[in-house]
Structure formats: structure tokens, C-alpha cells
Structure 1
């Protein structure tokens, strides 16, 4: 966390106190499987009940709820979040108020793309757009992306396609020079979730079919994703150059929207329009009339 003044720290502790009290008051003993004993003068759970559910001492939890200056670990905050049945935004808020960086969201495997987001991706055409998750799995894609970069129905992960889709590789200018940076960026993302089974699955499956990837992965290089120019040489229309911008989807922090904008002065937009017109043209069907 960024260093803060004593006044700011005190304000944060007061907000933590109020937040924990209101979350505790919103729960009933029955909702968390605790037997209700005795007369309750206030609604919600008692402090000792939260402490029991979280596996922490009653005095320590009381100090935390009072906003005292005590050391708090991520593991204990996770336990308190579970005890209070916090939502993902509430869980992240708890970490911020306690002075810790929020961990990645638990619900990282959701893949249901909203109709609004799909319409946005389709509306970006005739420019390419692609939605992926933190594992680089493809969640949604528009027809311009398929036409310009060579994706087909068998492509489900950007990293896997980068190494195994022959058409994609054939189009990509300077593929060999870009490959180390691509792998280094994926490793940097994977480092945020060590031991995550989905990252391990992608790495294991790709290593089994691509010696090039396995060699680059073994280097342990890391790199940050950057705003870049994507250059392709399409077999039908020639060279195209795109400015690449990656945006985080605010209600799905582990989703990323990649937008490709044709560079002005390169003729890319005209070539892309020509490519999409050809892809949309109906195929000629020849009927044998005998």
C-alpha cells in the first residue's frame, strides 16, 4: 500500500470499524449455522460468534473491529470474509480498509459474456476485437478478428493459437522476435496465481505440443503487456498494421478487451474492408443438371 498520513490511517480504521459492524449486523445466527442462545439486544451476530467462525481470538477480533492499530494477515482477513459471508466487492473493500492489497477475485472461472459486451465487440467491426480472460482463453471474438488474424473455430486460447495455428503464425510479421515477449507476459500473469490449475493446464498442454514454447517457458523471463503495433501480412490482401489497446472489464477484473485500430496512412483499413467484403460474399454453388 502507498504510505499514508496518520490522519488518513485513522480514517481508514474508523471506516473498517463501521464496515465490520454493519456486516456483522446484517447476518443472523441461523444464516451462518450458529445456534441462537440468550436474549439479543442488537441485531445480527455477536463479536464472539464472528471470531469463532473465523477461527480467531475474541479479543483480537474486538480490537480489529474497534479500529485499533494491530497487525492483520491476508489469511485472517480471508477467514473473516468467509465468516461474514462477504461478496467479492466487500471482500476487496475489507482488504483495502485493513491496509492490504486485495487478492485476486475468487470467481475467476465465470465465462458467461453479457449480450451488451458481445454487441460492443461486434460493433467494433470492421475493426478486430477480442475478449479474453487472465488465462488468455478466448471468450468472444468478432468476424474481423477471424478474417484478419486467421482465427478459426478450433482456436480457444490466444497463447495456444500463437504457437499452434499455422495460419496465424504465417500472417504474423516478426513472429520469432515477438514470441519471447508473448511468453514472458503470460508468465508475469501466471505469477499472480502460483499453483493455479488453469494456468498449469495451459502451460502443460502447450508444452506437450510445442517445443518452441517449452524452451521459452523454461527461460523464466517476465515482461509487462504494452501498447503495441500488431503487424500481419495477410495472404489475400497484404500488409496490415494495427494499434493494439487492451482494456480491463471493470465488472470482471480478470477479463481483458483487446481492440485493434488500423494505423492511419498504412492502407490497412482499405485492405481490411476488402478482406471482409470477400469473406461476406456468397459462395458460388454449381449444380449438376445432368
Structure 2
């Protein structure tokens, strides 16, 4: 027991030393790339030998003690706060990923990622991705699960359209989607729990509150499941769809985050191996399948 504890302590100490060394190198490299002119300081002419800002200049501009900043850059065991790190980040002109990285190196939990304006359109590369996924369904959802881009297969299989933009609302109130989703009752609890996990990533976001309140009023089933307080991280899941034209469609659904747009998730549905799902999807996407597609009347 003692030897095991000592081994853990050694690994922890080694990892901590590596983190502090990385912190030192990171701060020195970021400081070197900021010129005095960038910071609104005189450049000192030919007499200046230090590339970028000096340590004491960073300290003064950030409003911290010179000794404290020196200790920070040396990777010493000192108390740091998010507010001070934000000041240092501002002086060193760190972007959001660099600022989050500084938090980690300083031993703090990084702040939430900056979320782009939800009005920003989906990039053409993402649209090409979901279109290239044909004949299998694919769509792009925002942080509220609003479906903001779909391919033709997603419309044909799941009835994704402009009338049912929010996937959570569609799951509980769209009669077409509900009728086609085999095992709806079993999966409904997981869907509600996954939405709570999604909302937890953006505490205080009134957009989630509004959707939950409105859906609870029109769907007693959702209100009951939401009141249970269950939380579940989304992941790969299997789906069985009973399609009116081709019968059973077996899918494996996977969610992928978009690195440059952390507010977006690409949902890809893959035909489950060992089934005839791909052949059926190819027929639905064919001219014959498109002509015979039944569009149920809204009721």
C-alpha cells in the first residue's frame, strides 16, 4: 500500500512539474510575440534586447505585482485566480483557445468556450459534409437542438422540415416522427436526460429554459420525464424506423462536434451492418423513390 501510494505521488509530482514547465514556456513564447508598440509602449529603440514585452511590462499592464508575475512565469506554486489570468491574457493578446490553455497550465478549470452568434450561418464545408452523406440521413443542430441544416434523406426518413425545427420538440410532438420511431417510449427518457446534459453546458441560458417550459406545457410525457432530473451524456445509439414506403430502417446514430463551431453538432445516421437499410435508402433517394414518397397530411 505504501509503495503504491509513493508511486502515485511520484507520477503526480512528475505531471505537476511538466505542467509548470509548459506554463513557463507558454508564457515566455506568448510574451515574446507581443511588441511594445502592440501594447502601446515605446519600443526603446536599439537598446532593447528583449524580444517582445519584458516581464515587468506585462505585470504593470496586467495590474499585478512584478514578483508575482515572475513567479507565475517561473511556474512556482502560487495562488492564481481567473480574474488575474484574464488580465494576463488580455496583455498577451491570447485568443480564446490560448486563454483556456493558460487556465489549464495554471491549474484552474478553463472557462466555458466562447459561443459564436447563433445567427451565423452554417459553413459550406459542413453543408457539403451532410450532403455527401446521402443516401443516409444527416443533419446539423445548434446548442438548443434546433435543426439548422438537413440533407434530403433526413427529411424523407424523419420528416425533418421547417415546421419541426427543434429536434426535442419534434421528438415529443411530431406525430409522424413518433409513429415511425420504433421503441419511442423506451428512448424518450434518454432523450430528456440528454437534453438536460446539453443545457448544463450553458448554465443560465434562457434559451433552454424557454424550450423546456413551452414543451412541458404541450407534452405531459416530457414534463414528467423532465421532472425526474435525469442526466445522460449523448453518444452513439441505435435507432429503428418503420418507414411507410420501405419498412424497417436500422440506424446507428453518432454525434460529432464541429471544432470551429462549438455550438454546432453534426448528427450522422449510418446504416446498420447486416441489414438491408442501405439498399432501401438508395431506393428512397432514387428518382422512383422520390416520386412515390408519401407526404402525410398535417393534422
CA shift for structure 1 position 187: 0.8
- Aligned: 1:280 with 2:287: no
C-alpha distance 174-16 of structure 1, shift in aligned 2 (>3 A): same
CA shift for structure 1 position 48: 4.8
Distance in structure 1 (CA, Å) of the matches to 2:170 and 2:276 = 26
Distance in structure 2 (CA, Å) of the matches to 1:160 and 1:52 = 52
CA shift for structure 1 position 279: 5.4
Q: Do the aligned residues in 2 keep the contact of 1:147 with 1:279 (CA within 8 Å)? A: no
SS at match of 1:233: strand
Distance in structure 1 (CA, Å) of the matches to 2:97 and 2:142 = 19
Match of 2:265 in 1: 256
CA shift for structure 1 position 148: 0.5
Distance in structure 1 (CA, Å) of the matches to 2:162 and 2:80 = 48
C-alpha distance 228-9 of structure 1, shift in aligned 2 (>3 A): same
1:107 to 115, 135, 152: 115
C-alpha distance 6-203 of structure 1, shift in aligned 2 (>3 A): same
Aligned length: 281
Distance in structure 1 (CA, Å) of the matches to 2:183 and 2:64 = 56
Match of 2:14 in 1: 7
TM-score if structure 1 supplies the norm length? 0.82
Match of 1:286 in 2: none
SS at match of 2:248: strand
CA shift for structure 1 position 230: 1.0
1:202 to 201, 208, 211: 211
C-alpha distance 210-53 of structure 1, shift in aligned 2 (>3 A): farther
2:194 to 185, 193, 196: 185
Unaligned runs of 5+ in 2: 1-7, 294-299
SS at match of 2:255: strand
User: Which whole-Å deviations, capped at 9, do the CAs of 1:84-113 have from their partners, x for residues lacking one?
Assistant: 331122123212322334333113445433
Unaligned runs of 5+ in 1: 284-290
Kindly report which structure 2 residues correspond to 1:89-108, keeping only aligned pairs within 5 A, or say none: 89-108=97-116
CA shift for structure 1 position 151: 0.8
TM-score if structure 2 supplies the norm length? 0.80
SS at match of 1:232: strand
Q: Quick check: which one's helix share is greater? A: 2
Match of 2:179 in 1: 170
Match of 1:247 in 2: 256
Distance in structure 1 (CA, Å) of the matches to 2:148 and 2:63 = 39
Match of 2:31 in 1: 24
Distance in structure 2 (CA, Å) of the matches to 1:184 and 1:37 = 56
Match of 1:287 in 2: none
Match of 2:125 in 1: 116
Match of 2:297 in 1: none
Q: Do the aligned residues in 1 keep the contact of 2:115 with 2:263 (CA within 8 Å)? A: no
Distance in structure 1 (CA, Å) of the matches to 2:100 and 2:132 = 33
CA shift for structure 1 position 45: 4.0
CA shift for structure 1 position 240: 1.3
Distance in structure 2 (CA, Å) of the matches to 1:97 and 1:184 = 33
RMSD: 3.0
Match of 2:76 in 1: 68
SS at match of 1:78: helix
Distance in structure 2 (CA, Å) of the matches to 1:215 and 1:74 = 39
C-alpha distance 208-72 of structure 1, shift in aligned 2 (>3 A): farther
SS at match of 1:259: strand
